[in-house]
Every structure is written in structure tokens, then in C-alpha cells.
Amino acid sequence: MGKIKLAVLDDYQQVALTSADWTPILAGCEVSVFHDHIDDVPALVRRLEPFEILCVMRERTPLPRALLEQLPNLRFIASTGARNASIDLKAAEDLDIEVAYTGYTSTAAIELTWALILAAARHLPQEISSVQTGGWQTRLGQELKGKTLGLIGLGRIGSAIAKIGNAFGMRVLAWSQNLTPDRAAESGAAWVPRETLFGDADFVSLHLILSKRTQQLIGETDFDRMKQSAWFVNTARAGIVDEHALMNHLKLRKISGAALDVFWNEPLSLQSPWRKLENVLSSPHIGFVTDEAYKTFYGDCARNVLAYLHGKELRP
């Protein structure tokens, strides 16, 4: 019998095999690492059809039923992160495909959120570009002290964002579908109705999980309420936001700008308008892309694969 075929998908930085010890796995598996991303389903099926094991990085390559049904050799999916909404778990169960997850910390996403807020407030991309192209100061920035931070979602990440906002001397408001005033106060935020948050905030930052209930939760009416000087920040999931509503408000300068780490189709195409808007501060979905997070992701992923190979109980 030949070695078991294992594929590591979407290793953009080419670090999967150096972020963990794969030595025990390489003894029993033929490992293929793919650094590019494929959207075309027939091409993706052709690539993945030989593999018994897939190691997927978060939700970069969705695995819906229509795709899984065309992968008869697939028996095990090792997904990085604590959950993966892009895997059809019911289909995997029906097809006798096991799925395992890894550890995850939100530190990187929290830090990136504040990096984007600070970069937006002080126009860092423009000022850095000015220096690099022979210029000097070009515009006035904003101080965060005294400004209002509106948080949509006050879970693990949102609560940490709130505490840092307080440290900057900001007024912190919060709203979500189940949030209560007492729960908000525990994190140093004031609960307000949704319309008040969007109307008062200088920075609106989104921190919800994408689900059927939150799909396109934020839309035209919300953006209409925002101040023209306000920024919209999203390091959560693009699907929570009505793409066209946000795009229109940015094009018409109805809000000052958007700082986005997540997009509706990733990676962005070269023709994507999100690459071209001057009032969009964009990063390429790097909220979880740190050396520390990758060591956790790929280290746990390798252990899950080894457990599968040994027929042991999988990590929850």
C-alpha cells in the first residue's frame, strides 16, 4: 500500500511545514502543500480528489456539500481554528468524513483591530507613503481621547476592544442582539439601542460571529445613521455587512471611511473596487496571521492528523 495522501491548502506564507513538527506524519503520509488559492470548483475537485486528508486554514477554501460529494477519497478534515463555518458539517457526517479543530486565541485579532483604528485616525498609510515618495506632512489626524467607539458585539474580542478603548479615554458604546446593559457594563461599555450607536460613534467596530441570524445584519439604514466623519471597522466577517450599502456610502463620502480586514470574496480580484477606493484602509485578512497563532494552528493540526492516523480519539 502507498502512503496516505495529505494536502495542506492555502499556505499563503509558505510556513505550514516550518510552523510545526510534521516528522511523524511524513513517515506515513505523502504531503502536498498548496500556496495558491483556487475558486473554480471543477479545478478544485481535480486538485483535491486524490487526498484522504485535508488541512485547511480557517475558511479560505469553503467545503460545501457539492464539493465534498466529489471527493470520494476524503476521510478527514483538519481545520485550523475553533470552528469553521465554511465546512458543511452535516454533509461531512453523511459522507463519513471526520472533522477536527485546533486551539485559538483572539489576541491577534484584537491587536489588528486597534492597528486599523489607529492607522485610520492618524492617516498612517497616506503619511508613510508621502515620506516614501519625497513628501512630508499632508493632513491632520484625530486623537482618540474623547471620541466615541461603538462596538457591535461584546464577546471575547469585543470586550477586550472595549477595555482598550477605555484606556485611550474613549466613550465606549455597545449593542448586539442579546446584549444587556449589565453585561455591557461589565466590560466598561454602555449599552445603547442600535440606532443610537450608529448615530453617535466616531468609530463603529464589528465583532460578531457570522451566522444565519447575523448574515447581512448591518445595512443601508445603519450606514445612513453614521456621521459623515465616522469610520466603519470590520475585522470579523464580511458577510455580516451589506456589501453594496457600504460601498455606496463610501463612494458618495457619506461616511469618512472603512478599515477592513475581511471581504466578501477572498482573495480580492485584481479588478475589485475594494482595492481602489481612496477612503478604504484594507488589509488582506491578517487578523489571525501571526507567528504565534500559526504555531498553535499547525501544531494542533499536525497532532490531530497524527491522532487520525493512529486511530485515536480526536481533539474536540
Over the stretch 189-245, which tens digit does the pLDDT of each residue have?
Answer: 999 999 999 999 999 999 999 999 999 999 999 999 999 999 999 999 999 999 999
The set of catalytic residues is 237, 266, 285
Which DSSP category does 218 fall into? B
Over the stretch 302-313, which tens digit does the pLDDT of each residue have?
Answer: 999 999 999 855
Q: Which domain holds residue 13?
A: 4-104+290-309
For the chain, how many structural domains are there in total?
2
Using DSSP's 3-state secondary structure scheme, residue 120 falls into helix
Q: Are residues 163 and 241 in the same domain?
A: yes
Q: Are residues 125 and 273 in the same domain?
A: yes
Over the stretch 252-302, which tens digit does the pLDDT of each residue have?
Answer: 999 999 999 999 999 999 999 999 999 999 999 999 999 999 999 999 999
Which CATH number belongs to the domain containing residue 78 in this structure? 3.40.50.720
Using DSSP's 3-state secondary structure scheme, residue 94 falls into helix
CB of 281 within 8 A of CB of 120?
A: yes
Question: What is the structure's pLDDT at 2?
Answer: 80
Q: Are residues 37 and 136 in the same domain?
A: no
| Statement: residue 42 has pLDDT above 70 | yes
Q: Is residue 305 part of a domain?
A: yes
Q: Are residues 71 and 219 in the same domain?
A: no
How far apart are alpha carbons 124 and 141 in whole angstroms? 9
Q: Is residue 316 part of a domain?
A: no
Q: Are residues 134 and 70 in the same domain?
A: no
Q: Are residues 42 and 155 in the same domain?
A: no
Q: Are residues 169 and 234 in the same domain?
A: yes
Q: Are residues 132 and 245 in the same domain?
A: yes
Measured distance between the N- and C-terminal CA atoms of the chain, rounded to whole angstroms: 30
> Comparing C-alpha atoms, which of 238, 168, 181, 174 is closest to residue 210?
238
Sign of the C-alpha dihedral, residues 51, 269, 242, 193?
positive
Q: Is residue 314 part of a domain?
A: no
Over the stretch 48-93, which tens digit does the pLDDT of each residue have?
Answer: 999 999 999 999 999 999 999 999 999 999 999 999 999 999 999 9
Q: Are residues 83 and 163 in the same domain?
A: no
Longest dimension (CA), the chain: 68
Question: What is the structure's pLDDT at 316?
Answer: 45
Over the stretch 147-194, which tens digit does the pLDDT of each residue have?
Answer: 999 999 999 999 999 999 999 999 999 999 999 999 999 999 999 999
CB of 7 within 8 A of CB of 32?
A: yes
Residue 145 C-alpha cell reads as: 481621547
